[in-house]
Chains A and B, each alone.
Chain A
């Protein structure tokens, strides 16, 4: 794990620059628009509003037995916000190295800054929205102290995104086709997750497929905490730890094999 440790040291030493880069990245996402930073939150907020109005106010759709809540809109909102965050972070993080090619070729700076910047700025946009959901859902179960578990859960999730985004960014630098494949996977991946349907609705013999999605434990955990005020199960926490561990080993290899030439591939 020497290579990865070196990347983490580099990242830590450049943390001041990283903060500047995150701020600039967020600003560049709405540069030139009149409403400015409101646009960053417009898409997820409108999604929340639409799900709530359509499913819970107008059609009053209900989930069947075994679901963590009866109201479909409330259920969807809890899953969709982490999923949007994930898909935004991975999509931008994966492209970050290729897009930073000119910058990296002219300035001596660690490449790891770029995927880290993309993931962190996505986190800065979406995580406050999850916090915003807390008071809305607390009514379902009273203010349970377990709500605080959201903090370690989401921290582990952001760590996983960072590792995955960096690994994909390196692969995309080696072969641009990776971007197309992953963009497609992000598009259909939501169907292989508990965001739209409770796991109980999946065919029993295919349910294991859900765990191939790195977002499944995060979504399940968020649902447990927000909808039921409960502690997520052992399987959720295990998966939350296994994903970053596996990705760290994989990324360490990738970094060791690509370090010297990465800049030339951009």
Chain B
């Protein structure tokens, strides 16, 4: 079968000029005095229909450049992007750019449809469903300047995804509107995927990449460092990030006490943060050795407003073998509101069915719907467990001899 998307030898060279004056001189005389900077270099891959590729990497690794080249808003310096079949590409890069504040929602909708290549006839057919999905029926004939930012973004998302694309590009844009609407967005993207839409997804949240992507591409300094099954690439990337962190003196030692949990102001734009993760009960001593056979993980978190957050905890062997994950929104459990406004969730694993070894706990903080990841403390707390069973293994399974 023909791949839905083939990227071959894609590269983007930025010409950096010392000043805009030098830029103008180069433009007029043709004598170039730029310093070359490859934002992306020689990236090749192909994606089958219905597959989802997660693009990960540090800031400046070329993630956005890659997505923009595929979306067609940037022109590549080298290489090409080929689409299989009809090839409608929809990019959710920044929603609502191009809305004119003095025009009504409906007028903006018509113009924006033309911009993304929807014919007037098709736009007229889709109009009601777009407005319905965005849930702004009562405001659609008012100027957009009277909209809340959430309303404008809802309208833009609803339009961008009104026509099912063959390739969907999402650049960290899942934070759309309120939680109710976020859920609808995720459901819509999910249904595209089930229908065979190919998705390119760029996110800092490894949780999301893990959850939705079949494969991951790790970009480092503009080049593809590793591409393959999500888990493999993420494990390599996480090891790399940890190595970088361990070289920095302020990095917290595993198992050591965290920074004091206080209810301090969230940073602007931040909607929630984990304040403290504790595991126990531990034996006194230098090694974080679990006392007894019960593991308790307590996550202390702070979120903006009165939203009730969800908390997830992941347990892994230190070598990177995942054992289990649990989450309040999956189990129908609730975090507890503390008098100081923070939230606390404690999960207890009684009669820990583990063999002796070294384990590590990660904690995640979610929004009230369990969709958006507000914060993640990945592989934060390490502990040792000495099992009464002296045999090798990882988990003790219920078993019966006969």
Q: Is A249 an interface residue (CB 8 A)?
A: no
State whether A20 and B114 are in contact (beta carbons under 8 Å apart), knowing that A102-B97, A106-B93 are contacts in the complex: yes
User: Shortest beta-carbon distance, A97 to chain B, in Å?
Assistant: 13
The 8 A CB mask of A241-266 against B (1 = contact, 0 = none) is 00000000000011001111101110
User: Shortest beta-carbon distance, B75 to chain A, in Å?
Assistant: 5
B75 A257 Cβ-Cβ under 8 A:
no
State whether A171 and B75 are in contact (beta carbons under 8 Å apart), knowing that A28-B102, A31-B100, A32-B102 are contacts in the complex: no
B27 A254 Cβ-Cβ under 8 A:
yes
B111 A107 Cβ-Cβ under 8 A:
no
The 4 closest A-B pairs by CB, nearest first: A108-B72, A31-B102, A175-B24, A20-B114
Enumerate B43-91 residues with CB–CB distance to A below 8 Å. Answer: 68, 71-75, 77, 89, 91
B115 A107 Cβ-Cβ under 8 A:
yes
The 8 A CB mask of A27-46 against B (1 = contact, 0 = none) is 11001100000000000000
Contacts of A60 in B (CB 8 A): none
* Assembled-state Cα–Cα distance A265/B27 (Å): 12
Stretch at the interface among B14-22, B182-190, B258-266, B297-305: B14-22
Q: Is B333 an interface residue (CB 8 A)?
A: no
User: Shortest beta-carbon distance, A241 to chain B, in Å?
Assistant: 24
User: Shortest beta-carbon distance, A4 to chain B, in Å?
Assistant: 15
A103 B114 Cβ-Cβ under 8 A:
no
Q: Is A141 an interface residue (CB 8 A)?
A: no
- Of chain A, the residue at the smallest CB distance from B110 is A20
Contacts of A260 in B (CB 8 A): 13, 75, 77
Contacts of A175 in B (CB 8 A): 20-21, 23-24
A–B Cβ pairs within 8 angstroms, 16 of them: A27-B103, A28-B102, A28-B103, A32-B102, A105-B68, A107-B97, A108-B71, A108-B73, A170-B27, A171-B24, A175-B20, A175-B23, A175-B24, A259-B75, A260-B13, A260-B77
User: How many pairs of A and B residues are in contact by the CB < 8 Å rule?
Assistant: 84
Interface size of A by CB at 8 A reads 34
A263 B114 Cβ-Cβ under 8 A:
no
- Of chain B, the residue at the smallest CB distance from A259 is B75
Contacts of B26 in A (CB 8 A): 257
B103 A31 Cβ-Cβ under 8 A:
yes
Q: Is A104 an interface residue (CB 8 A)?
A: yes
Besides the known contacts A103-B97, A171-B24, A257-B30, 16 further A-B residue pairs in the complex with CB atoms under 8 A apart: A16-B114, A24-B111, A28-B102, A31-B102, A102-B97, A103-B115, A107-B97, A108-B71, A109-B115, A175-B24, A254-B27, A257-B27, A259-B75, A261-B15, A263-B75, A265-B23
* Assembled-state Cα–Cα distance A170/B24 (Å): 9
B27 A258 Cβ-Cβ under 8 A:
yes
B20 A106 Cβ-Cβ under 8 A:
no
Contacts of B13 in A (CB 8 A): 260
- B positions within 8 Å CB-CB of A: 13-15, 20-21, 23-24, 26-28, 30, 68, 71-75, 77, 89, 91, 93-94, 97-98, 100, 102-103, 107, 110-111, 114-116, 143
* Assembled-state Cα–Cα distance A105/B67 (Å): 12
- A positions within 8 Å CB-CB of B: 16-17, 20-21, 24, 27-28, 31-32, 102-109, 170-171, 174-178, 253-254, 257-261, 263-265
* Assembled-state Cα–Cα distance A123/B55 (Å): 47
User: Shortest beta-carbon distance, B17 to chain A, in Å?
Assistant: 9
A103 B21 Cβ-Cβ under 8 A:
no
User: Shortest beta-carbon distance, A178 to chain B, in Å?
Assistant: 7
Contacts of B143 in A (CB 8 A): 32
Contacts of B24 in A (CB 8 A): 171, 174-175, 178
- Of chain B, the residue at the smallest CB distance from A103 is B98
B14 A261 Cβ-Cβ under 8 A:
yes
State whether A17 and B114 are in contact (beta carbons under 8 Å apart), knowing that A106-B93, A107-B73, A108-B73 are contacts in the complex: yes
State whether A171 and B27 are in contact (beta carbons under 8 Å apart), knowing that A106-B97, A259-B75 are contacts in the complex: yes
* Assembled-state Cα–Cα distance A257/B15 (Å): 11
A107 B114 Cβ-Cβ under 8 A:
no
User: Shortest beta-carbon distance, A167 to chain B, in Å?
Assistant: 10
Contact of A174 among B27, B73, B115 (CB under 8 A): B27
User: Shortest beta-carbon distance, B99 to chain A, in Å?
Assistant: 10
- Of chain A, the residue at the smallest CB distance from B94 is A106
State whether A102 and B20 are in contact (beta carbons under 8 Å apart), knowing that A27-B103, A253-B30 are contacts in the complex: no
- Of chain B, the residue at the smallest CB distance from A178 is B24
Question: Which one of B27, B28, B107 has the highest number of Cβ atoms from chain A below 10 Å of its Cβ?
Answer: B27
State whether A174 and B98 are in contact (beta carbons under 8 Å apart), knowing that A20-B111, A263-B73 are contacts in the complex: no
- Of chain B, the residue at the smallest CB distance from A253 is B30
A263 B20 Cβ-Cβ under 8 A:
no
* Assembled-state Cα–Cα distance A178/B24 (Å): 10
A105 B77 Cβ-Cβ under 8 A:
no
Contacts of B93 in A (CB 8 A): 105-106
State whether A107 and B27 are in contact (beta carbons under 8 Å apart), knowing that A31-B103, A102-B98 are contacts in the complex: no
Contacts of B97 in A (CB 8 A): 102-103, 105-107
Contacts of B107 in A (CB 8 A): 24, 27
Contacts of A31 in B (CB 8 A): 100, 102-103
Contacts of B30 in A (CB 8 A): 253, 257
A106 B75 Cβ-Cβ under 8 A:
no
- Of chain A, the residue at the smallest CB distance from B17 is A174
Contacts of A109 in B (CB 8 A): 115
- Of chain B, the residue at the smallest CB distance from A108 is B72
Contacts of A21 in B (CB 8 A): 111, 114
B100 A174 Cβ-Cβ under 8 A:
no
- Of chain A, the residue at the smallest CB distance from B111 is A24
Contacts of A259 in B (CB 8 A): 75
Contacts of A24 in B (CB 8 A): 100, 103, 107, 111
A174 B23 Cβ-Cβ under 8 A:
yes
* Assembled-state Cα–Cα distance A21/B114 (Å): 9
User: Shortest beta-carbon distance, A37 to chain B, in Å?
Assistant: 14
Contacts of A261 in B (CB 8 A): 14-15
